[in-house]
A and B are shown apart, each in its own frame.
Chain A
Amino acid sequence: MKEIEDFLTGRIWLKEFTPFPKNEIDEAIAQGLIACIPGISEKQECSRCLEKSAHLISFYCEKCEGDCLYCRHCLKMGRISSCTELITWAAPSPRPLKTRSFQWSGRLTPSQNLASQQVIESIQNNRSHLIYAVCGAGKTEVLFAPIYEALKKGDRICIAAPRTDVVLELSPRIRAVFPEAVVHTLYGGSRDEPGFAEIVIATTHQLYRFQNAFDLMVVDEADAFPYSMDPALKRAVMKAKKPEAPVVYVSATPSARLLKETPGRSEIFRRYHGQPLPVPRFDSLWNYNKQLKKKTIPKKLETWVRLRISRQEPFLLFFPTIDLIDQNIPLFKELDVGIEAVHSKDPNRKEKVMALRQGKIPGLLTSTILERGITIPKVQVAVIGAEEEIFDAAALIQISGRTGRAADFPTGDIVFFHNGITREMDRAKKTIIAYNRKTIS
């Protein structure tokens, strides 16, 4: 029963799909230890993802022998319908406090330290907080002390991020710093881990499966797709935490709304190594589309790529569409056969990024999927078609933030190749310059 309690505490799970034998679940229900929740609530809302009736589909159901509603929004986690039940542990028993150590030998910069203290203070006051910190500021380290404080109190903590890549990068770092804490890492296709997780590191999608679970909620990359665009994911974050629990948002490019609505705030406009952010430069690449269609790489771009290859500097070429990447990868392979391409649907993405980091391949053509979460020492970056709509100021700032992250190589070329300068390009550049100025003052 202990195993079931550990698993179901704070979770809301399809009754038919638990990892436990059916008779044990039924017995716990009979004893009142597990509560059952109808899949579709009386308010005609999906109990797991809180999707409203307008997006629920009605059909004649052979199980209900009548009209039944099912939710398409969270379908891939197992279908929720009027005739399915969700279960949760009804009355979790109190958990004894355990000593938890904190193993980190690094040192915070003064601005990281200040932010860290401010976050702790906000949490003490149950107030939500935004860590507004430039790319490469060392945001994760800022979270260590607040998480440690929460752990000592016996709080349950969730660190959520919109993308699996970010979750996978966070997980080993958190586990290393809190070696005795039970940490679970959840994303689409992850395996169940044993025990009661004091720290859950999860994609925002996985939070559909939690309810009233966390005393502290951290949302990393709070401006990233799909979280930023999907109200259901925002609801999932709010549903997964306890009602009074504060949320700590972390972002390098927060939306105006997030800035306005979050009461607590810390700003870090200085990178952890103290060097300014590389400022993007603009370079025209008139009618690059026409030239690419004729199977020639525009001269300026070719020169830029050749220079990187001859200097053995790893590079990223950001393209606006997957189609453009697919069409042009053969052209770039003529410059160097080692050049590869990645996009969101590429199963080998991780391996290719690793190969670039290890110097096994010279460069990558990529969609905006690599705008966040990756650090490659010495990397040089070019955006092709920076005027395209997909490259808004936030995306361009994130992309620029890939350069100069390592303390040994704090600079790097970041060029926006364009077919006309947009307001978003201007905004990105001006914002980065402003960050660097605040650093000086």
Chain B
Amino acid sequence: MQASWRSLFMNDLNEAVCTKCKAEFESITGNACLYCGALEDGVCRDCLYWEQTEYAGLITKGQCLYRYNAAMQTYFHQYKFLQDVILSEVFAKEVQHALAKVEAVIVPIPMNPKKLKERTFAQVDAMLESARLPYKHLLTKNEDVQGKKTKTERMASTPLFQWNGEAVPKKVILVDDLYTTGTTMRHAAKVLKAAGAEEIELFCLIRG
């Protein structure tokens, strides 16, 4: 089943993301922000801000694989909003390569249950499953209010997540698809830290 599904998919995928499109994805290499992988030396402006707030010192380091260029925006739109589930396979190899050797337990950023039912799939979980990586959910997401607020309002707003009560390992790596302001990651990290995590890394496919 798995094999035939995959080979069928490869035919379909060639249509969706041809080699030319794939060449247009821009990976992040060289100097990048220690915390979030933004293309800035040392620590980026967003992270400098975070390190002056109550969220300081939560994240030890982080990585993002790709920039949010036009090709990536097209991909992301088709995957997340047009719900083209099968596109979770596009970066399977790259995600596998980046995360296979980390010791920390992979913790995906969850979706709100109501939202998840609407979307029909969790795009972060699907990406990890395509990369054949084990993961553990430790958080639940509160109802979404993000879209309605400005960037600064969002950075300071009420908690986005709750601990789900399961045992928290010492080392965790938070995984999300798109990193924009860092609010999601900081809120998640804060909850995990309070629940007992000692070392928290972050990983995102895309740095917006």
Interface residues in chain A, defined as those with a beta carbon under 8 Å from any beta carbon in chain B: 54-55, 57-64, 68, 70, 72, 75-76, 78-79, 81, 83
> How far apart are the CA atoms of A62 and B115 in the complex, in Å?
10
Partner pick for A59 among B8, B12, B78, B85, CB 8 A cutoff: B85
Residues A62 and B116 in contact, CB atoms below 8 Å apart:
yes
Neighbouring B residues of A79 by C-beta, 8 Å: 82-84
Hey, which chain B residues are within 8 Å of A72, CB to CB?
12, 16, 84, 86
Closest 10 A/B residue pairs (Cβ):
A59-B85, A63-B120, A79-B83, A61-B120, A62-B116, A57-B86, A63-B117, A62-B120, A75-B82, A62-B117
Residues of A within 8 A of B118 (CB): 63
Closest to B126 in A: A59
A90 to chain B minimum Cβ distance, whole angstroms, is: 27
B83:A55 contact, CB within 8 angstroms: no
Chain B residues in 8 Å Cβ range of A59: 85-86, 120-121
Interface centre among A55, A59, A62, A79 (most CB of B within 10 A): A62
In the complex, chain A residues whose CB is within 8 Å of the CB of B86:
57, 59, 72
Contacts of B9 in A (CB 8 A): 57
Q: Is B132 positioned at the interface, with any CB of A under 8 Å from its CB?
A: no
CB distance from B146 to the nearest CB of A (A): 20
Q: Does B122 contact A (CB under 8 A)?
A: yes
Task: Give 9 pairs: A residue, B residue, CB < 8 Å, sorted on A.
Answer: A54-B8, A59-B86, A59-B121, A61-B120, A62-B121, A63-B120, A72-B16, A79-B83, A83-B120
- Residues of B that sit less than 8 Å from A by CB: 5, 8-9, 12, 16, 78, 82-86, 116-122
- Cα A433 to Cα B85 in complex, Å, equals 53
Bound together, the chains give a CA A72 to CA B16 distance in angstroms of 9
Chain A: CB-nearest residue to B129: A60
Q: Which residues of B contact A81 (CB under 8 A)?
A: 83, 120
| Whole-angstrom distance between the Cβ of B194 and the nearest chain A Cβ | 28
The interface residues of chain A lying within 8 Å CB-to-CB of B78 are 75
B12 and A55 contacting across the interface, CB-CB below 8 Å? yes
Main secondary structure of the interface of A (DSSP, over half): mixed
Give complex CA distance A269, B83 in Å: 49
> Which residue in chain A gives the minimum CB-CB distance to B111?
A62
Question: Once the chains are docked, how many angstroms separate the CA of A75 from the CA of B8?
Answer: 17
Q: How far is the CA of A60 from the CA of B130 in the complex (A)?
A: 13
Cα distance A280–B183 in the bound complex, in angstroms: 65
Contact B119 A70 (CB under 8 A): no
Tell me the minimal C-beta distance from A73 to chain B in angstroms: 10
- Which chain A residues border B83 with CB–CB below 8 Å? 70, 79, 81
The complex places the Cα of A76 from the Cα of B118 at a distance, in Å, of: 18
A60-B121, A70-B85, A75-B82 known; 9 other A-B pairs, CB under 8 Å? A55-B12, A59-B121, A61-B121, A62-B122, A63-B117, A70-B83, A72-B84, A75-B78, A81-B83
Which residues of A sit under 8 angstroms from B5, Cβ to Cβ?
58
Q: Shortest beta-carbon distance, A208 to chain B, in Å? A: 15
Nearest CB to that of A57 among chain B residues? B86
CB distance from A40 to the nearest CB of B (A): 13
- What B residues does A83 contact at CB under 8 A? 120
CA–CA, A283 and B184, complex, Å: 64
A164 CA / B175 CA spacing, docked (Å): 42
Residue of B nearest to A79 (CB): B83
Q: Is B12 a contact partner of A62 (Cβ separation < 8 A)?
A: no
Tell me the minimal C-beta distance from A189 to chain B in angstroms.
15
B135 to chain A, nearest CB (A): 15
In Å, the complex CA distance between A79 and B120 comes to 11
Q: B residues within 8 A CB of A78? A: 82
Q: How far is the CA of A55 from the CA of B16 in the complex (A)?
A: 13
Contacts of A76 in B (CB 8 A): 82
Report A66 CB to chain B, min CB distance, Å: 11
In the bound assembly, the distance between CA atoms of A68 and B83 in angstroms comes to 13
Chain B min CB distance to A65 (Å): 9
Cβ contact within 8 Å between A75 and B84: yes
Instruction: Give the complex CA separation of A60 and B83 in angstroms.
Output: 13
Name the distance in Å between B181's Cβ and chain A's nearest Cβ.
27
B85 contact set on A, CB distance < 8 A: 57, 59, 70
Q: How far is the CA of A61 from the CA of B9 in the complex (A)?
A: 18
Q: Which residues of A contact B12 (CB under 8 A)?
A: 55, 57, 72
Distance of A178 Cα from B122 Cα, bound (Å): 51
| Alpha-carbon distance between A258 and B56 when the two chains are bound, in angstroms | 70
Shortest distance between the CB of A150 and any CB in chain B (Å): 37
Give the CA-CA distance A224 to B86 in the complex, in Å: 30
Which residue in chain B gives the minimum CB-CB distance to A65? B117
Name the B residues within 8 Å of A58 (CB-CB).
Answer: 5
Question: A62–B84 contact, CB under 8 A?
Answer: no
B120 touches A68 (CB 8 A): yes
Which residues of B sit under 8 angstroms from A55, Cβ to Cβ? 12
Inter-chain contacts of B121 with A (CB < 8 A):
59-62
Which residue of the partner chain A has the closest CB to B1?
A58
State how many angstroms separate the Cβ of A214 from the closest Cβ of chain B.
Answer: 29
Residues of A within 8 A of B120 (CB): 59, 61-64, 68, 81, 83
Cβ–Cβ < 8 Å partners of B122 in chain A:
62
Determine how close the nearest CB of chain A comes to the CB of B160; give it in whole angstroms: 20
Of all chain A residues, which has the CB nearest B84?
Answer: A75
Closest to A72 in B: B12
Name the residue on A nearest B78 (C-beta).
A75
Knowing A55-B12, A72-B12, the reply to whether A62 touches B119 (Cβ < 8 A) is yes
Roughly how many angstroms separate A55 CA and B82 CA in the complex, as a whole number? 17
CA distance A61 to B83 in the complex (A): 11
Chain A CB within 10 Å, residue with most, of B85, B121, B122: B85
From B88, which residue of chain A is reached at the shortest CB distance?
A59
B116 CB contacts on chain A under 8 angstroms: 62
